[in-house]
Structure 1
Amino acid sequence: MLAETICSAVSAAGLGIAAITAYRKRFLAATRIAAYSLVPVGLVMTGVVKWVSGIVFEPSVWIGFGLLAVAWLLLVTTRAVERRGGATRKERKAARDASQGEAVAPVASAPSLGTAAGPAADPAARDGRKEKPQQAAGAGDDFSDIEAILKKHGI
């Protein structure tokens, strides 16, 4: 009963403010204020206010909220301990992938990425020329393509 009275008073005050705003020729703002002021009365008429007041004054609901808070605290605490221990999900996944990679492809069966078995198979070695040792072209090792693009654009 008290909640319905309060909601009605808030709506009446909002409609009064909307009327003053409309008198000042600010019709869009007045319409917006009127819309907001009708919400409390609508909530009372649909029964939402009774439902919410029933939840607020029910002890079992507050016990449920307490249990949710405890569960949330436990989850946050375990995440903090996991991060502090250094064993993050990424580290565990990397360790698991590394151990599986060694088991699947042993060193003896890995394909050779370097030169062939003997000097006869290497065409530069047959001609007596020596090539410069090339570094592994990783993601950040070789910037020659980027430099060429920048020079092309005058940067």
Structure 2
Amino acid sequence: MIAETVCSAVAVAGLGIAAVTAYRKRFLAATRLAAYSLVPLGLVMTGVVDWLADTAFSPTAWAGFGVLGLSWVLFSTSRAVERRRGGTRKERRAARGARQEAVAPTASAPSLGPSARTPATRPAGQSRATGSGSGSGGDDFSDIEAILKKHGI
């Protein structure tokens, strides 16, 4: 009974403030205030306020909220563990099978970019051993030397 009176008073006060705001030519703000002030009146008229008042003082309702909270905690925990492991058992098996099928028999060497010379792009007359300098591995470090020279090292 008191809740309905309070909600009705809040609605009337809100509509009064909305009327003053509309009088000041702020129609958008007045419309918004009227909408907010009609919410408590609508809650009273639909019976939600009675239901909330009955629920607030009911030990059975609070026990039900406790059970719902426990259910939510258990569900959230199981989902977090599932995400951490990488999905359900079925999903992990499917992913493992897809990974084994997708593995190539031989791995390719990493590309060193356009400065890396392959035997087909090497100038005629230069062998691998006499590439660009010192020893047999001179061609392997030529791009590294170029980067170091570029930075003045």
TM-score normalised over the length of structure 1: 0.53
Task: Give 5+ residue unaligned stretches, structure 2.
Answer: 102-106, 112-153
Instruction: Please state how far the C-alpha of 1:13 moved relative to its aligned partner.
Output: 1.4
Q: Deviations over 1:117-136 (max 9, x none)?
A: xxxxxxxxxxxxxxxxxx86
Shift of 1:2: 1.0
Partner secondary structure for residue 89 of structure 1: coil
Query: Quick check: 2:14–2:36 contact (8 Å CA) kept in 1?
Result: yes
Alignment of 1:95-134 (within 5 A): 95-96=93-94, 98=96
Q: Could you tell me the percent identity over the aligned residues?
A: 56
In the alignment, which residue of structure 2 is the partner of 1:53?
53
> Which one-letter code corresponds to 1:89 in the other structure?
G
Cα RMSD (Å):
3.8
Inter-CA distance 81–97: structure 2 relative to 1 (3 Å threshold): closer
The 1:92/1:42 distance shift into structure 2, 3 A limit, reads: closer
The C-alpha deviation readout for 1:56-108, integer Å capped at 9, x for no partner, is 2221111111011112222233344445xx63217863544545998xx9xxx
In 1, are the aligned partners of 2:82 and 2:88 still within 8 Å (CA)? Answer: no
Instruction: Give the Cα–Cα distance (whole angstroms) in 2 for the partners of residues 6 and 19 of structure 1.
Output: 20
C-alpha distance in 1 between matches for 2:92 and 2:67 = 36
Q: Tell me which moved more, 23-32 or 8-17.
A: 23-32
Q: Deviations over 1:38-62 (max 9, x none)?
A: 2212221232211222222221111
Aligned position for 2:86: 88
For 2:72, give the aligned amino acid: W
Residue identity in the other structure for 2:54: G
Question: Which whole-Å CA distance do the structure 2 matches of 1:24 and 1:101 have between them?
Answer: 69
CA distance in 1, matches of 2:47, 2:99: 62
- How many pairs are equivalent? 111
Instruction: Give 1 or 2: higher helix fraction.
Output: 1
